[in-house]
Structure 1
Amino acid sequence: VVIPGDHFVTALDVLADALMNSAFDPEELKKEREVILREIDMGEDDPDRFLSRLFWSTVYREHPYGYPVIGYRTLFERLTREDLLDYYHRMYRPNNIILVGVGDFDSETALAHIKEAFADFERGSLPPVYIPAEPEQLGPRRAEREFEVKQIYLLMGFRTVSIESKDMYPLDVLAIILGQGRSSRLFRKIREEKGLVNAVSSWSYTPRYGGIFGINATLEEVNKDCAIEEILKELDRFKVELVSEEELKKAKRKVVSEHIFSRETMEDRAGDL
């Protein structure tokens, strides 16, 4: 919620009421249900989203990271209002909620209002959450699906580390040097010099339970095998050659500048917390 500072108390009251007294009106649920079903259908027609779901379900076969955020149509269609109410009453408890405030207000005054607004919010016992560990991957995995598009959408990935690992930072820098921007190695070598792809980029995702180093590309069918070979060659270069000082400094500047820009607004800072 983003509001002017002088409307803090009003916004807090509205938020508290929504958290503690949601009614899940049947008519509103019906409307939202149709919205979500349309979004699921749109995901089936969008090659990027389709590829993303295929990729994550191929990487993570046991861990929930492999599930699509929007869920599965077959499960969603069976969802009832009673299911929602049951989850709401079990999980929406003050001992399971984090409230963050950033901006133009006095902390002590705000805390007093928060305590007053949620005074009737009763704590409750929470069910244990079991998150299965993803087994070690023992060999390459590959998944391909036909899609009515004029080019190939390619996504390669390698399992890496969690956010708690010190290797998170080198991986962020590596992703920039390899495939972020027109001066990156993949862009210059595979797109500009060899013309094997229409677009190419790399990224590093390091969540709590082990992450992914990924490379995205769009290309023509005829170039698929050559493009994959060249991408792997560029990755192998990091094993035997040090990156240049210029590349390293530029990538580190990009990491720092992105961090600064990510904290420009109060909403950004709240999200950080």
Structure 2
Amino acid sequence: FRPPRPSEPAQHAVRSLFQRDKNSRETRLHLAFHIPSVEGNDVNALDLAADILGARDSSRLVRVLKKEKGLVNSISSYSLTPKEPGLMLISATLDSKNLDAVAKGVMDELVKLAKEPPSEEELERAKVYIESQHVYARETVQGIARSIGNYHADLGDGNYEEKYLRLNRAVTPAQISEVVAKYLFPPNLTLTALIPETDQPVNEKQILSTAESYARRPAVSYEKTKTNGNVVLKTLPNGLRIVASQDESNPVVSVRVVHLGGKRFETKETEGIMNFIAQMINKGAGNLSEFEIARKIEDMGGRLTGFSGYDSFGISASFFSRYTDPGLELLALIHSQCSFPSEEMERERALIINRIRTEPDRPVPYALTILGKTLFKDNPYGFDKEGTLATVASFTRDDLLNTYKRYATPANTVISVVGDFDVEKTLKKIEELFGSIPGEKFVAPAVPKEAPLSKVREEIVKIPRAKAHISIGFLATTFSDPDRYPLEVLSNILSGQGGRLFLELRDKQSLAYSVASFVRPGLDPGMFAFYIACDVPKVQRAVEGLFQQIERIRSNPVSGDELEHSINNLVGNHLISLQSSWARAENTALNTLYGLGHDYDAEYIAKIKAVKSEDVLRVAKKYLDPTKCAIVKIMPDEVQQ
């Protein structure tokens, strides 16, 4: 028996907290408003209001405060409606000098939305976007189970999702303004800011006064209110390759346009340029602005982003299947006429530079970035994906445009399409849109080979953090090397909550908060790495413990049960990862691009299943040589020690 929780009383005054943090490098601002639970009558209108305000690139707060005024690095809004009364959250990262301006800017947008209802077009865009999140979630069994479980737990109706979407479709523009006016104004406001300790003092009273000046109505009570596809391959005359896989199980289509590139084709002078291109790819094309591109894709119930990794870069998109033709037309326009507009480029440059400067605020990826730099001294795999402060500051529009044109040629392009579409019609449409692009012979640049390690390389970096973060790396293998499969089994045996590292170093010896291993193959030999986070006094024992586990796996064959469990886990997780059309489109495109074949997944599973205990022992001895590795220790600075 669980006694009923007390109801949240009405909030009669704005609450605020401004806190300094020596570990932060940018300010985090949160504005929270009490709202009803999922059982309340206003939940649909509040969810749509959150979307209109800050859930998408074309949402109001993102457009005005980030893109037009440049006051924030990021901003979003979210409606949290659990079984108990919830919260509407508006969150931003920014420079602390902009706190008052951002608080005022947020409240100004709330005033506009409360006074003037959104247009039918803007509201329809929000409805389509929310519907798309539910539809895409149905592509995986986890998504379906999560929906049924959540709605059953909160409302006693596992099938409530369809009713929720019907109610969403019935919301009117006037209802949006009504709920904004009803819930999203002082005194029903809690404002908090986490500010870097090194920043100049901020006028807390002024910021609070600004927020309080928007008081509109008496406090509100928040009592709950009861209420497969066939695969077709085609190569166009210009060299562009297409892989189309039909799946009619869900009314969505996912597309990837991918090219060889990424960090592997960068130099010290161009470090980070591929990531810059990926961030700019949807910022303008032809006569379309960034906002117009975002609006078009949102009107299709979709999403569209650029990406860049170790070996490739390109465009990812999904949309409702009824918009297949206009979705492909938009992709073709971006692919062939991306404009890299100067104003958007300067804004993106500032955001990338801010991420580089604040990298130590994210110690886990930061530790692995430093590990890459320490392990790879010749090959570009050691570069920081974001680039350096110097390279990012130096890139011109022509640099991005010329690099993009060099690598986004038909002969270096694979397009994969996965989902509910007419294969013949879609192939014809792709050929019509992409087939006229002039075909030129693609010559890949020479990529420096990484020399084998001859000794241990160690790097110690000190940052303002309370914990230590240790990473150890070994040169590993490529996508196509047969050793890849036993290495992945080896990593699975070590990692995860049931793995040796977790059981020995965390559970038994209490040496770690977090510990893991992973293998990252590439077109060039990649990395096998270990990561552990621990208290500073335990660093030496934690490192010794990692090497003891490395020596154990190098010296003794794994048991049959351990091997079988690892193989089953790898195969199961791989199959689960391919449930959505988004994931399958990515996998198909990259496997084709890397020369593994569009149907490589079946081969991957077969080769994982064929791994023997002696294979694991052999690759452990071959690659995990403790005398030839890189060790990185991210340690607290002297003040914290």
Shared fold by TM > 0.5? Answer: yes
Partner-residue secondary structure (3-state), 1:98: strand
The answer as to 2:425 corresponding to 1:109 is yes
Matched residues in 2 for 1:82 and 1:231: separation?
A: 47
The answer as to 2:356 corresponding to 1:35 is no
Alignment check: 8 A CA contact 2:471 2:530 kept:
yes
Matched residues in 2 for 1:193 and 1:23: separation?
A: 56
Q: TM-score, normalised by structure 2?
A: 0.41
Q: 1:90 to 1:230 in 2, by over 3 A?
A: closer
The answer as to 2:367 corresponding to 1:80 is no
Partner-residue secondary structure (3-state), 1:99: strand
Q: CA deviation at 1:119?
A: 4.1
Deviations 1:58-80 (A, max 9, x none): 10000010001111110110111
Q: Give the structure with the higher percent strand.
A: 2
Deviates more, 1:44-53 or 1:60-69: 44-53
Q: Which runs of 5+ in 2 are unaligned?
A: 1-316, 589-641
The answer as to 2:424 corresponding to 1:100 is no
Alignment check: 8 A CA contact 2:360 2:463 kept:
no
1:90 matched residue in structure 2: 406
Deviates more, 1:128-137 or 1:21-30: 21-30
2:509 matched residue in structure 1: 194
* 1:41-56 correspondence to structure 2 within 5 Å: 41-56=357-372
Q: CA deviation at 1:41?
A: 2.2
2:490 matched residue in structure 1: 174
The answer as to 2:69 corresponding to 1:69 is no
Deviates more, 1:118-127 or 1:151-160: 118-127
Q: CA deviation at 1:126?
A: 4.0
Matched residues in 1 for 2:442 and 2:492: separation?
A: 41
Pick the aligned partner of 2:335 from 9, 12, 19. Answer: 19
Deviates more, 1:172-181 or 1:137-146: 172-181
Deviates more, 1:193-202 or 1:64-73: 193-202
Deviations 1:34-70 (A, max 9, x none): 2222222222432223212210011000001000111
Deviations 1:106-144 (A, max 9, x none): 222111111111243222354541101001111111111
1:239 matched residue in structure 2: 554
Matched residues in 2 for 1:225 and 1:179: separation?
A: 20
Q: 1:172 to 1:89 in 2, by over 3 A?
A: closer
Partner-residue secondary structure (3-state), 1:100: strand
Q: 1:77 to 1:215 in 2, by over 3 A?
A: same
* 1:120-269 correspondence to structure 2 within 5 Å: 120-126=436-442, 128-181=444-497, 183-269=498-584
Q: 1:19 to 1:203 in 2, by over 3 A?
A: same
Matched residues in 2 for 1:61 and 1:6: separation?
A: 49
Matched residues in 2 for 1:84 and 1:158: separation?
A: 33
2:628 matched residue in structure 1: none
Matched residues in 2 for 1:213 and 1:94: separation?
A: 33
Alignment check: 8 A CA contact 2:495 2:517 kept:
yes
Q: CA deviation at 1:260?
A: 0.7
Matched residues in 2 for 1:205 and 1:128: separation?
A: 22
The answer as to 2:393 corresponding to 1:57 is no
Aligned AA (1:157)? G
Matched residues in 2 for 1:222 and 1:232: separation?
A: 18
Q: Kindly name which structure, 1 or 2, has the bigger radius of gyration based on alpha carbons.
A: 2
Q: Which runs of 5+ in 1 are unaligned?
A: none
Q: CA deviation at 1:211?
A: 2.2
Q: Identity across aligned pairs (percent)?
A: 26
Higher relative contact order by CA 8 Å / sep ≥ 6: 1 or 2? Answer: 1
Matched residues in 2 for 1:151 and 1:266: separation?
A: 39
Matched residues in 1 for 2:339 and 2:477: separation?
A: 42
Q: 1:123 to 1:219 in 2, by over 3 A?
A: same
Q: 1:90 to 1:194 in 2, by over 3 A?
A: closer
Aligned AA (2:450)? E
Partner-residue secondary structure (3-state), 1:154: strand
Root mean square deviation of aligned Cα:
1.6
Deviations 1:150-205 (A, max 9, x none): 11100012222222222211111111211221x22121211121122222111111
Matched residues in 2 for 1:249 and 1:44: separation?
A: 39
Q: 1:82 to 1:240 in 2, by over 3 A?
A: closer
Question: What is the count of residue pairs matched by the alignment?
Answer: 272
Q: 1:23 to 1:254 in 2, by over 3 A?
A: same
Deviates more, 1:51-60 or 1:205-214: 205-214
Partner-residue secondary structure (3-state), 2:462: coil
Aligned AA (1:108)? E
Q: TM-score, normalised by structure 1?
A: 0.94
Partner-residue secondary structure (3-state), 2:460: coil
Deviations 1:191-246 (A, max 9, x none): 12112222211111122211222111011222112221222112212233222222
Q: Give the structure with the higher percent helix.
A: 1
Q: 1:244 to 1:135 in 2, by over 3 A?
A: same
